[in-house]
Structure 1
Amino acid sequence: MKIQQLQMLNALSETGTLLGAAEHLHRTQAAVSMALKKLEDEVGFPLFDREGYRLKLTAYGEQFLRQAREVLRQQQRLQSLTQQLRDGAEPVLRISYDHTCAPASLFEAMRAMQTRYPTTDLLLNGEAQLRSLRAIREGEADLALTPWLPVFRQHGDFETKLVRPFELLVTISPALVAKYGLPTQRRDLLDIPMLMPQNQDVGINLDRMIRMPGQQRIRVNDSIAQRELLVAGMGWGIVPGDIIGDELARGDLIRIDIPDFINQVHLEVHLVRSAERIAGPAAQIIWDYF
């Protein structure tokens, strides 16, 4: 059984005549008729009822055609994959993102990539702190979404594109506001525990930056745990805006605005790739989006 026979069967079912199928397949009517007879001899049962003017599938023929069409769809996908691989498209595109950066900013670019290269699998991997850059440097990821400082170039040969500003917000839960009032000055925070990352690893020393001696600190090693502790009212914290947008919108957290409290932070979120490796076409679509 050959693909050409299944294509002929599909054309016959759609046109209903030997002449129509022959014109569609650019073959002679006699050749289509002979191919149909050969296929029916091979499967061992009639595929069409020939009594009327138009060919009509038998019950067996309808069931056979459903499976034949699935084979044709798979064959088309295989042809598409073959062409994409021949053109250099990646079978898998690996994207790493820092936990402090919401990956949603990549979604539209990813949709564009999927439209152009539907057989390229996407592998997204969230990393703590700046391990995303290490994944790029070591060839374990093709693209990374991460906070960026120019000093990071000393850790590898990177190319980057600006995605958006990286914003650190001071936040507190409504329960703590009810207990202590809404802080408006630095000293208002002294009696409330501070939630902070164990290692921010983005070129920021929060202890040195805020200089609030004597205050109790709760240190966590990832932003997700910090967010959950904030919502639970375990303390106030300085946290990336990307990971608490929904909580702020729902009122689960309240933003604290204290003049000149964290204005020393000037970071950006960048898309990063290695300058030493040639990007595949799927990765290039996402790169060009920005």
Structure 2
Amino acid sequence: MTIDQLETLEMIVEKGSFKAASEHLHKTQPSLSVAIKKLEEEFDLQLFNREEYRPKLTPEGLVFYNWAKQCLYTFRELKTVGTELGSKKVEPFLTIVLDPLVRFEALEGIFQETVLSKHPTEMTFRSEIMSVGEELLISGEADFSISTKSSDNDMIESVPFDRVEMIPVIAKSLAKKHPGLTYKSLKQCPQVVVLSQGDKNSLLKKDAKGFTADSKKCFVTDHSLKHKMIVSGFGWGRLARNEVEKDLKKDLLIEIHDENIKPFTLDLHIMRLKHKPLGPVAKAVWAQLLQNATIKKSKRPTKRN
């Protein structure tokens, strides 16, 4: 039994077919079949039911697969530790992805003397909306991300950092043209929406939150532009309560109260790949991010009954 055989088994189960697994592993399908056959012969154990169109684990195969996952997890942890203790040197570059809604308390202390000033590491910060940060972690383009979490992923270590209330607002000057600020009166008023990855359909499902797709939309490419356009009266939209508090107090913006246009909450997480080796600077940055998340959590207001 080898690690390669266990990783082959893992990928076939995860991807659902030998073909998809071979593409992901950059190996031929026959080589994957041979690896599984040798594994079965070694233990005189049938892992997959050959009568099914797609590979389906036998009851015994499922038990073996669950143990294999534990073995692979331990192996990858050991590999990470070995890399960090051995040849891993100071990283020349680190990339952190930030959702535009991140409050900058998240980054407090990262540039302190004990972290960066003693090393030549260059930091790059990327502003990306929605779940793009998580995608960049998986692709290897980012080291850390503070953004929304799209789903549970065993590859990612995730720590809750902040909860952001997104409230529907409209410029006072524009509100005068839409009496009552109701769902019906705002149907012809453009909703300003940040466009993610050119996918309007998925974005509308996430952003509408009760305001149906039959309303007008005005798409923008970044959050700061969205904020400026709403304040300037180009349309209405949802913005973080903490970022519009001053605009509300100055009477530049008005909060919309309607059952069909409700506020919603976004959860921001600090994330990294679990098994990606960390050099000394990355370790220090991650430790600081975790500390900031703990402080942030302790400062959250208690909900009133």
Q: Which amino acid aligns with 2:104?
A: A
Structure 1 distance, partners of 2:93, 2:139, is 17
Contact kept? 2:149, 2:267, Cα under 8 Å: yes
Matches within 5 A, 1:61-80: none
Change (3 A) 1:142 1:160: same
- 2:143 aligns with 142
- 2:157 aligns with 159
Contact kept? 2:131, 2:149, Cα under 8 Å: no
Question: Normalised by the size of structure 2, how large is the TM-score?
Answer: 0.54
C-alpha deviation, 1:273, in angstroms? 0.6
C-alpha deviation, 1:238, in angstroms? 2.2
Q: Which amino acid aligns with 1:268?
A: D
Matches within 5 A, 1:48-127: 90-99=91-100, 101-111=101-111, 113-120=112-119, 121-127=122-128
Structure 2 distance, partners of 1:158, 1:94, is 16
Identity score, percent: 17
C-alpha deviation, 1:268, in angstroms? 0.5
Change (3 A) 1:208 1:119: same
Gaps of 5+ in 2: 1-86, 294-305
Contact kept? 1:129, 1:202, Cα under 8 Å: no
Aligned residue-pair number: 197
Contact kept? 2:190, 2:234, Cα under 8 Å: yes
C-alpha deviation, 1:133, in angstroms? 1.6
Q: Which amino acid aligns with 2:171?
A: S
- 2:168 aligns with 170
Structure 2 distance, partners of 1:237, 1:195, is 5
Matches within 5 A, 1:200-279: 204-207=205-208, 209-211=210-212, 213=214, 215-241=215-241, 244=244, 247-248=247-248, 250-259=250-259, 261-262=261-262, 265-279=264-278
Structure 2 distance, partners of 1:143, 1:249, is 35
Pair 1:288 & 2:290 matched: yes
SS at match of 2:137: helix
RMSD: 3.2
Contact kept? 1:145, 1:272, Cα under 8 Å: yes
Which among 175, 180, 185 is matched to residue 188 of structure 1?
185
| 133-142 or 185-194: bigger deviation | 185-194
Contact kept? 2:209, 2:262, Cα under 8 Å: no
Q: Which amino acid aligns with 1:287?
A: L
Structure 1 distance, partners of 2:135, 2:213, is 33
- In terms of Rg, which structure is larger? 1
Structure 2 distance, partners of 1:122, 1:206, is 31
Contact kept? 2:110, 2:116, Cα under 8 Å: no
C-alpha deviation, 1:256, in angstroms? 1.9
Contact kept? 2:146, 2:270, Cα under 8 Å: yes
What per-residue deviation string (whole Å, max 9, x for no partner) do you get for residues 17-60 of structure 1?
xxxxxxxxxxxxxxxxxxxxxxxxxxxxxxxxxxxxxxxxxxxx
Contact kept? 2:193, 2:237, Cα under 8 Å: yes
C-alpha deviation, 1:96, in angstroms? 1.1
SS at match of 1:186: coil
